[in-house]
Amino acid sequence: MVPAMTRIVLSGNVDPATALSLRARLERETDVARPQVEVDLSRVVTLHAAAANALIRGQRRARRAAGTLRVIPPTAEAAARTLHHIGLVESGA
């Protein structure tokens, strides 16, 4: 049975403390068979590198467990560009 989609919504400035919480949450959510996780960053203004790292780790964990981690990109240009450069969102996001 495929688990239900888990949606995580972040907004504002995602600082190192928030990134640490995000990393812990993603570890919990991807610690199941075939995890389905969506991280909504559409209202994020700035994204610390630690948060980008947490997303990369979460995506890898989800894939290893035969699941998915989908990122809804931020509308703020700088944060969206960061995620595009590290390959977490498609071009034009």
Beta bridge partners, 79, equal: none
Residue stretches of the chain with pLDDT short of 50: 93
Q: What CATH number did the domain enclosing 10 receive? A: 3.30.750.24
Beta bridge partners, 37, equal: 6, 69
Q: Which two tokens stand for residue 54?
A: 């947490």
Domain carrying residue 30 = 6-85
**Residue with token string 């890898």:** 60
pLDDT value for 78: 79
pLDDT value for 1: 63
Local structure of residue 20 (DSSP, 8 states): H
Counted domains in the chain? 1
pTM for this predicted structure: 0.88
DSSP string, 26-56: HHHHTSSSS-EEEEEEEEEEEE-HHHHHHHH
Residue 93, domain member (yes or no): no
Residue 90, domain member (yes or no): no
pLDDT value for 93: 41
* Cα-Cα-Cα-Cα dihedral sign, residues 29, 31, 32, 33: positive
